[in-house]
Structure 1
Amino acid sequence: MRFTHDTLAQQVRFGSGTVGDALAEVTAGAQRIMLLCTPRESERAAAITAGLPVALAYHDVAMHVPIEVADRARTAAADAQADLLLCFGGGSAIGLAKAVALTSSLPIVAVPTTYSGSEATSVWGLTEDGRKTTGVDPRVAPRAIVYDAELTLGLPVATSTTSGLNALAHCVDAMWGPRADPIDRVLAAESARALRDGLPAVSADPSGLPGREQVLYAAYLAATAFSSAGSGLHHKICHVLGGAFDLPHAPTHAAVLPHVLAFNATAAPEAEARLAAAFGADGAVAGLAALYAELGGVRPLRDLGMAENDIDPAVEAIAPLVPSGNPRPVTSADLHRILSAAWSGAAPGTV
């Protein structure tokens, strides 16, 4: 056994009902905070940060972080003389804070209200001319994360489900990403176990905290493993789809995941066995299918805004990005089958 594992330097504060006290502590010393959140979250974010030195509340947030949106936020941060970026919300707000930090080196404190996991990674993404570019840079990793499951209580069950399945996609890619190691696989397996228990609990009792705490805990573990392992085949596919066709982030991951898992599982027996055990099933593909069925299924790509004639150009864009260390070789024909099945909603491995 020989591997190198890098761990991000982050403080994680986890506790339901603790966001106010935790924020006061992790932002201590900041004098001019730039608060980034969507307009929908603005009122709640303002109430939670009322006692902090917020110099600018910024709400120009967009999915997939278009470059023009990032440029406006960078200018606003400079004009406000911000010394700390505080992002409140889901992946879009966190992604925008990362885009600002990438060019300014400003520290980030993240308060996630979904299960995207972006707060736990050093991965950034920007979209320009329909192409989403991602990279890894330690400057964009939040120095502190405040997890408070009470902040997710307003997240509808359907949104919670797709956001949680996005976290599960991090688990799967962490099993065989280009830098995957034994530590990543342990974290990913525990995350998958917590998601398997937590997501049905959220569905059964949306106002209860135990299920949401499990999913939030799982989202952190999954993203930590993914940040270390790097983007595998699944994320390469979804980043192209999101950037090129402006598809919703989490639902796209949920639609594609079963098909990538079915494609790779037979060529990665150790990872397959770990995921099967986490799902409490005889096989990883069957376990994931059972979880999807219990959660009511997900929408195929055709229902998310992707046209069938988008499949060919998507394959062309994805093919050069396929990780060389994927458990099995990937041809353009393979990609076409994966996308066709995800587009139509066919059973994994049947197209």
Structure 2
Amino acid sequence: MQDFEYQANPARVVFGKGSIRKVPEELLRLGLTKPLILCTPQQTLQAEDLRKILDGEVTVAGVFDNATMHTPVDVTDSALKVVKESGCDSVVSIGGGSTIGLGKALSFRTGLYHLCIPTTYAGSEVTPILGETQEGRKTTYSDPKIFPGTVVYDVDLTMTLPAGLSATSGVNAIAHAVEALYARNGNPVINLLAVEGVRALAEALPQIVQDSNTAGPRARAQYGAWLCGTCLGSVGMSLHHKLCHTLGGSFNLPHAETHTIMLPHVVAYNAPNIPETLALLAQALPESDGDAIRGLNVLLQKLGIKRDLKSFGLKEEDISQAADIAVSNPYWNPREVKRASIEELIRRAWAGEEARADL
């Protein structure tokens, strides 16, 4: 039996259909009566619906509707001004990783309580990690103070999430669990959560793509995303997340799509050094035939999503620079990070090739 340390996630989780209606109760339980609602420009309708639920129970301080991908510092600064002017006593984020990231940034800077309501499967809501972008570079922080205090999962809020975005958001969550399985500070408890999370998402996502209006697979995907996000919040990440933060922060590639495209390639790169992880993944991935890389390739094929970074704006001439940035700061990875191999890995992802373990 391996030696390990395990720190439980401190967040309170409220999971269930229609649970958004419990948000006033959750705030009042904590003595909070003046929340500021956060959302993206695309989710103002959901924010307004939440305001209606809150009105009469508490006093809504306002709605800040400019949450942005990769959490730009200038957007956070604008939101901080609204926080100060509104006199709010808490922040409530409703949306995906962009909105939850802003809620984390505000809470971390001000000490305000953060309640979040995820509408995607990204898993950011249960991590102590904050990635912020400034002047073309994305910097990642990890601190227990970044954890949202309460997470409200309501499957109803995911029902209108487009099938394509559901797929990439879900694979993004799977990536958290995969890297947790070979983390330097991993442990048996997190391994159990990771395998269960991958299995739940790998089963649910193809069903969602086939019929996005069925609540059962949606709820299972939400459950899987919670487990995978918990993995991300409990152990260290490695090459996959480093590459995705480089591509997102420096080249403005979309978060979930980038994670989806890169995942099989990084697993293939690390494959010689992670046999136990590959065995666990193969068990959790349908149609893997005992080969985790094949299982990931088949899953992405079934989801029908784009698999090339060039479709999302990465230029061929950017590949070399991306490799330079990705290896510029040393970090732990189960296999030595070699610049030439990383450049070829990015090139394959840029071209949309299937992952293969020959680097």
TM tier, shorter chain?
A: over 0.9
Partner of 2:39: 37
Partner of 1:210: 216
Alignment of 1:11-26 (within 5 A): 11-20=12-21, 22-26=22-26
Decide whether the 8 Å contact of 1:178 with 1:323 is kept in 2: no
Moved more, 23-32 or 199-208: 23-32
- The separation in 2 between residues aligned to 1:157 and 1:224, in whole angstroms, is 24
Decide whether the 8 Å contact of 2:123 with 2:228 is kept in 1: yes
Residue 327 (structure 1) aligned to one of 334, 346, 349: 334
Question: Is 2:303 the partner of 1:303?
Answer: no
Partner of 1:76: 82
- The separation in 2 between residues aligned to 1:222 and 1:298, in whole angstroms, is 23
AA of the residue aligned to 1:58: F
Alignment of 1:22-171 (within 5 A): 22-28=22-28, 29-50=31-52, 51=54, 52-171=58-177
AA of the residue aligned to 2:355: P
SS in 2 for 1:54: coil
Partner of 1:200: 206
Question: Is 2:295 the partner of 1:287?
Answer: yes
- Structure 2 unaligned runs (5+)? none
SS in 2 for 1:135: strand
Question: Is 2:339 the partner of 1:346?
Answer: no
- The separation in 2 between residues aligned to 1:196 and 1:13, in whole angstroms, is 23
TM-score (norm 1): 0.96
TM-superposed deviation, 1:322: 5.0
Listed one character per residue, the Cα deviations across residues 295-326 of structure 1 (whole Å, up to 9, x for unaligned) are 114331011100011111111111034532x2
- The separation in 2 between residues aligned to 1:299 and 1:60, in whole angstroms, is 29
* Alignment RMSD: 1.3
Alignment of 1:209-228 (within 5 A): 209-228=215-234
AA of the residue aligned to 2:27: T
- The separation in 1 between residues aligned to 2:184 and 2:107, in whole angstroms, is 25
The alignment of Structure 1 onto Structure 2 pairs a total of residues equal to 349
AA of the residue aligned to 1:333: A
- The separation in 1 between residues aligned to 2:133 and 2:183, in whole angstroms, is 22
Decide whether the 8 Å contact of 2:107 with 2:114 is kept in 1: yes
TM-superposed deviation, 1:5: 1.2
SS in 2 for 1:320: coil
AA of the residue aligned to 1:332: R
TM-superposed deviation, 1:178: 3.8
- Structure 1 unaligned runs (5+)? none
Partner of 1:238: 244
- The separation in 1 between residues aligned to 2:99 and 2:330, in whole angstroms, is 28
